[in-house]
A and B are shown apart, each in its own frame.
Chain A
Amino acid sequence: MERMTTEVASRLVKLSTKYGDFKVAKGYSVDEERKFTKRKHVSELWSSDKGIDFLNKANCRQILPCEIILDMDDNISEERLNIICDNLDEYGFSYKAYATGSKGYHIHIFEDELIKYSEKIRQRIRHYIISKHKCDGHMASGNVIIALEDMPHFKTGKVKTLVRQSR
């Protein structure tokens, strides 16, 4: 477990070096209720031992500027997931689909070119593709935090696992 969390810290630092700084947090549940620690910037955390320790324990991160998340929170089925993924393949997007470890799926679309767009336009692009696939509209905002890939879900303890990726 210790080895895995160290990997998480260096993975988060690598991501922030490549795509710019973003925030992370640790989610936990108290009496079935979702709670989060205060969000902190990776760059800020990386500069102290205490911060690195926080990074190692983080299980949520902010959506990256190069990323679009399709969160299937309604009408969840493997069949629907495959329909969405087939459509993304038709477009030619690079993506990874995960079973969140909770109840649904997250499809992470990575599109480096998105970084060049203003936040306003990025949100419109996200909103369009999210609506097109009838997923959770909140994910259009760049400020939302999501469960970290390959990490145990803070509520169920099940690892967010890759189930399909782009061709």
Chain B
Amino acid sequence: MNEALKKLIYDMDDPDVIDEYKKINAKIDERFFDPLLLKHIHDELDKRHKLDHREKLGVFIVAASGYLRDARDHCSSASKGNSSSGKDNLLDTVLAHYPKDDWIKVTRATTATLEDDVQTKKIVAFSEINKNREFGANAEIVETFKQLAEGGTSTLKKDAKTGFKTAIRTEQKQKTLLYGTTETESDEELETRYVIIPVKGYREKNRVVVTDVLKKASDESFYLEKNKHEDSWIATSISLLDQEIQVIIPFSEILGEKVGGKEIFDTSKDRVKRDVKRIMSLTRANAWLHQKQRKNKFVNSMQFIYAEPSDFLNALRIFADFINLTYSGVDHRLQRLLEYAEKNVGKHEQEIKALGFQERYHGWILRHEAQKALKIGSVKTIKTWIQKLKDLNKVESHYDRYLSQKTVLFRPINQPFNNLALPVNIDEIDRLLQVWLGSDSAKEIYGEHKITPYSVDFEDYAQEIDEEPSTFSQENTGSELPCENLVVEEEFVTDD
């Protein structure tokens, strides 16, 4: 690189010239050659979006699937959560690490533009889509969005350029779409097409974000760093990765075997057909990102790279919970309420007895106790959530206005069947793949290529929400029960 030309170009301060200079001099960062690549990526994402470790890496890998050679491998994700939970920031953080020419993020678009004008983009992101709400954001484009996310679109339209005398046909292959939504309703068609990634708001997260904002406000180096406008090393490297390469998962057939008597992919569920494709695509995306470290082969003018077990296992470690959550058909906030109910059956017996409810209700859950424990800000919200769980046949509720006008009981309805998409423990699958790695067929594929596995491991910060609350508002409970020494300090923002 010639320093004189570089100095001249930076003196010019012309964005187009600087862009071309950067493209010409771009190099794949050495971290793309490191088995800890996912950790390096996570560390970079963490600078701008605190916590949500699995979630942000999950959205990042979904976005990487948009670069896979076969359009059918392009996955999509929906980030679900309350407003102010950080969905938009998560999306922005991930996109900032992809080459800016490859994606577009909009707050609003029309069906026609989606069909015609995003051809060159690998990733299309929407800040918000709320399908089920009246006048919900971008509700009218949901159908096109579904089509783009699975199979692509093919449209025939009158051509304005010829005075509408001729028609033009536009085809778009399946694309990677990312969006955020505050809705708790589930749309089966949407959820089978998207990896649903819950973005939760909780106290620890608020504390970390507040601390970070306060720290930056007094830190000159933060503004100096921000002013540098340096491109992300991840984005630069991604722009230089081979996009024509085809990923092979050499151990895929092993995954059809049973582990401990259980299938890795439960074939009794219809939607497992989509889930298995999705996990394979995300494994390919993982391997594609690691292409500089994977065994590759050139066969009949086609370049192949061979995924390693860690690509699959890390896809499971990051996505299994999200897929299982989607499988239950329950939004993560409702799931939390349901889990609370399941854990606390019988624990409110004394209070329920004292209120005079009949014996058959003694093992149920007090709604206001659940609201208090889960720090749900308003009665209206918990009422709505319980109603949604009732509609899904997950809980039943009881109310006796003669005993107490404000006390409502509910309990989970037992559903003994296993509802997990991936019922096998990841460690057991790891052991199965380790055995395969020692086989002759694995040796034939990888040869002398050195395999250095890396497994992603995050602390589950979301568990913070299970802590006993230190504060609570009596006014919010709608209960006649006494709540002593309670002060309002925080409240969830809800959209109802």
Q: Contact residues of A with B, CB < 8 Å?
A: 91-94, 111-114, 116-118, 121, 124-125, 128-129
Contact call A121/B17, Cβ cutoff below 8 A: yes
In the assembled complex, 22 residue pairs joining A and B whose CB atoms fall closer than 8 Å, in A order, are A91-B7, A91-B8, A92-B3, A92-B4, A92-B7, A93-B4, A111-B2, A111-B5, A113-B1, A113-B2, A113-B5, A113-B24, A114-B5, A121-B16, A121-B17, A124-B12, A124-B14, A124-B17, A125-B5, A125-B9, A128-B11, A128-B12
Given A113-B2, A124-B12, A128-B14, 17 more pairs with CB closer than 8 A: A91-B7, A92-B4, A92-B7, A94-B4, A111-B4, A112-B2, A113-B24, A116-B24, A117-B24, A118-B20, A121-B17, A121-B20, A125-B8, A125-B9, A125-B12, A125-B17, A128-B12
A128–chain B nearest beta-carbon distance, Å:
5
Contact A129:B8 (CB < 8 A) given known A111-B2, A113-B2: yes
Docked pose: A111 CA to B11 CA in angstroms: 17
Q: Can you list, as one digit per residue, whether each of B10-48 has a CB less than 8 Å from chain A (1) or not (0)?
A: 011010110011001000000000000000000000000
Q: Give Cα A121 to B12, complex, Å.
A: 12
Give the Cβ gap from A87 to chain B, nearest Cβ, in Å: 11
Whether A91 contacts B4 by the Cβ 8 Å rule is yes
Chain A residues, Cβ within 8 Å of B21: 117
Closest-by-CB residue of A relative to B7 is A91
> Nearest-CB distance from B482 to chain A (Å)?
74
Residues from chain B with Cβ under 8 Å of A118 in the complex:
20
Footprint of A on B, CB under 8 Å? 1-5, 7-9, 11-12, 14, 16-17, 20-21, 24
Count A-B pairs with CB separation below 8 Å. 41
Chain B contacts for A121, CB-based, 8 A: 16-17, 20
Contacts of B20 in A (CB 8 A): 117-118, 121
- Measured CB to CB, the nearest residue on chain A to B20 is A121
Residues of A close to B5: CB separation below 8 A: 93, 111, 113-114, 125
> In whole angstroms, what is the CA distance A121 to B11 when docked?
15
Q: In the assembled complex, which residues on chain A have CB atoms less than 8 Å from the CB atom of B4? A: 91-94, 111
* A149 to B4 CA separation, bound complex (whole angstroms): 24
How near does chain B come to A63, taking the closest CB pair, in angstroms? 16
Task: Point out the residues of chain A lying under 8 angstroms from B16, CB to CB.
Answer: 121, 124
User: In the bound complex, how far is the Cα of B11 from the Cα of A128, in angstroms?
Assistant: 9
Chain B neighbourhood of A129, CB < 8 A: 8
Across the two chains, which residue of chain A brings its CB closest to B16?
A121
Report the separation of the CA atoms of residues A136 and B14 in the bound assembly, to the nearest whole angstrom. 21
Q: How far is the CB of B121 from chain A (nearest CB, A)?
A: 22
Residues in A whose Cβ lies below 8 Å from that of B17: 121, 124-125
Q: Which residues of B contact A111 (CB under 8 A)?
A: 2, 4-5
Distance in angstroms from B236 CB to nearest chain A CB is 16
Bound form: Cα–Cα A91–B4 in Å: 5
Most buried by B among A111, A113, A129: A113
Which B residues touch A94, using CB under 8 A?
A: 4
Interface centre among B1, B5, B7, B17 (most CB of A within 10 A): B5
Closest residue of A by beta carbon distance from B18: A121
CB-defined contacts of B3 to chain A, threshold 8 Å: 92
- The residues of B that contact A91 with a CB separation of less than 8 Å are 4, 7-8
Chain A residues whose CB sits within 8 angstroms of the CB of B11 once the complex forms: 128
**Complex: A153 Cα to B328 Cα, angstroms:** 85
- Give the shortest distance, in Å, between A97 (CB) and chain B (any CB): 16
A112 proximity list for chain B (CB < 8 A): 2
Nearest to A129 among chain B residues (CB) is B8
- A48 CB to closest chain B CB (Å) equals 37
Bound: A11/B2 CA distance, A: 25
How distant is A119 from chain B, measured CB to nearest CB, in Å?
Answer: 11
How many angstroms from the CA of A94 to the CA of B14 in the assembled complex? 23
Which residues from B are CB-within-8-Å of A93? 4-5
Complex A-B, nearest 9 residue pairs according to Cβ-Cβ distance, in ascending order: A92-B4, A91-B4, A93-B4, A116-B24, A121-B20, A128-B12, A113-B2, A113-B5, A111-B5
